[in-house]
Amino acid sequence: MSRLPEPSAESDPLQRSPIRALAANPSHPMLSGFAAIAPRLAAAMAFAGLVQMTFNLISR
């Protein structure tokens, strides 16, 4: 008795998560847009962390 093979996540679009779809397609606009702003976002978050630590030290 033969069994039908289970559809894999790669072939079934209903089982593919958006993150896996982005990882499978490096030229996706969302991924390339994030790569373009990642350095500025990291610098802004680091600056915001420093400001928050400064205010936290001042308020003690």
Can you give the pLDDT at residue 29? 74
Task: Give the 3-state secondary structure of residue 30.
Answer: helix
- Nearest-angstrom CA–CA distance, 35 and 28: 11
| Predicted local distance difference test score (pLDDT) of residue 18 | 60
- What are the pLDDT digits (tens) for 20-56? 655 555 666 777 777 788 899 999 999 999 999 999 9
What is the predicted pLDDT for the residue at 16? 57
**pLDDT at residue number 17:** 62
pLDDT at 31: 73
Contact 52, 58 (CB under 8 A): no
Cα separation, 44 vs 38, whole angstroms = 10
Could you tell me if 30 and 22 are in contact, meaning their C-beta atoms sit under 8 angstroms apart? yes
Model confidence at 5: pLDDT above 70: no
